[in-house]
Amino acid sequence: MSNENQIDSENMYQMLKDFPKQIEEAIKLGKDIRITEPIDKIVITGLGGSALPGEMLLSYLKDMPIPIFVNKSYFLPTYVDKKSLVFVISYSGNTEETINAFRIAAKRDCQIVVISAGGKLQEMAQQQNKFYVHVPKPTPNFQPRLAVAYQFFPIITILTNSQLLEDKSEEIQKTIANLQRPVFEEQAERLAEQLVGRIPVIYSSERLKAVAYKWKIDFNENAKTQAFYNIFPELNHNEMVGWTNLKGDYFVIILKDDEDYERIKKRMDITKTILKQKGVPVKEIMFTGTSSLNKIFSAIYIGDWTSYFLALQYKTDPTPVKMVEDFKKQLA
C-alpha cells in the first residue's frame, strides 16, 4: 500500500471508494430549482468529462417523450430556442467552448441551468440571474471525470422537480447500496492485470454507449494509455474489417446489457468468435437487473476501478493530466 500511495499522489483510491457517498450528496444538489416555462427539448452542453452526464442521460432516459441532445461545441444547433432547457456543464467553470455555448443560449432566451464548481460560468450565471448548481470540489486537483455523479444527479433532481420526470428516489437508493459492495474493486483489479501491455477496445450497444465512452476516457486519463470504443451494430459495418490486419496488441471488452436487443446479442456473439479466431483476447461483462440506472453506474464503477489499477500497474499517477494542461496553456 505504501508503494501505491507513492504513485497515487492525490489518493484517487479514496475518491473511488467514496463514489457511493458522492451520489448521496449529488441528489441534494439542485433541489430548489424548478423549471416552470414550457419545454419541448433538453440540451446538455459540455466537453470531456463534463459531457458525460448528457451521454448518460441519453442512455438512461431512452424512452423520454421530450428529446434529449448532447452538444460538444463552441456553438449550439439552430433548433435550440426559448423552449429548450439547456444544462451548461463545466466542472472548472472555465471551459471556453462551454462559456461560448452559454452566451448563445442566453441570447436565444433559453431556460438555462449552469452546473459547475465555480469559475467564469458561476459569475456569468449569477450576473444574468440564471439557475446555478454549485458542485463540490473535494480536493484542489479533483478531476471532472471523477465528478460524474455530482454533474448527473442534479439534472435528474431538476427534471423531477419540474415534473418532466417521475420520481427516481427508490432506484437511486438501490443503486447506492449496490455500489457499496466490494465486488467492483475486486473484479476490476483482476481485469487490469489482464490489460497490462495491451490496448483496450471497449464495445457495447447503444444502451451502454455512455459507459463504453467513459471506460475509454478513463483509460486515457487515468492509465495514460491509448484506448478506443465503438458500438453495435455500427462497428459491424466498418471497424470490424480493421481486425483483418492486426497492428497492435489489443484486448476487447464487450459490455453487455441483459436487455440488449436479440439481434444485437447475436452480433456480439459472432463478433466475439471472429476476434478470438484472430487471436484477440475478449472479455465479456454482463450487467443484469431491472434498473437501468444501476446497470449504468455499476458498469461505470468497474471501469473507474479498472483504469485506476491499470495506472498502478504502469506506475503512473492516475490523477494529473499534464498533457491536457500543457495544451490549454498553448491554446491560451
CA–CA gap between residue 163 and residue 184 (Å, rounded): 34
- pLDDT band for position 295 (cuts 50, 70, 90): very high
Both 237 and 124 in one domain: the answer is: no
134 carries an active-site annotation: no
Which of 62, 266, 276, 328 is flagged as catalytic? Answer: 328
Q: What is the CATH number of the domain that holds 144?
A: 3.40.50.10490
284 carries an active-site annotation: no
What's the domain range around 149? 2-174
C-alpha cell at 214: 467513459
195-250 residue pLDDT tens: 999 999 999 999 999 999 999 999 999 999 999 999 999 999 999 999 999 999 99
Both 93 and 196 in one domain: the answer is: no
Q: Apex CA 217: angle with CA 216 and CA 222, to 5°?
A: 110
Both 20 and 156 in one domain: the answer is: yes
| 230 lies in some domain | yes
Q: Is the peptide bond before 20 cis (omega within 30 degrees of 0)?
A: no
Which of 166, 170, 237, 329 is flagged as catalytic? Answer: 237
Phi, psi of 229, deg, nearest 5: -145, 160
Percent share of the chain, pLDDT over 90: 90
- Contact yes or no for 143/259 (Cβ under 8 A): no
Return the amino acid letter for 112: I
Both 109 and 208 in one domain: the answer is: no
C-alpha cell at 76: 449550439
CA–CA gap between residue 318 and residue 9 (Å, rounded): 8
3-37 residue pLDDT tens: 566 899 999 999 999 999 999 999 999 999 999 99
pTM above 0.85, yes or no: yes
Which of 55, 185, 206, 221 is flagged as catalytic? Answer: 221
Both 37 and 168 in one domain: the answer is: yes
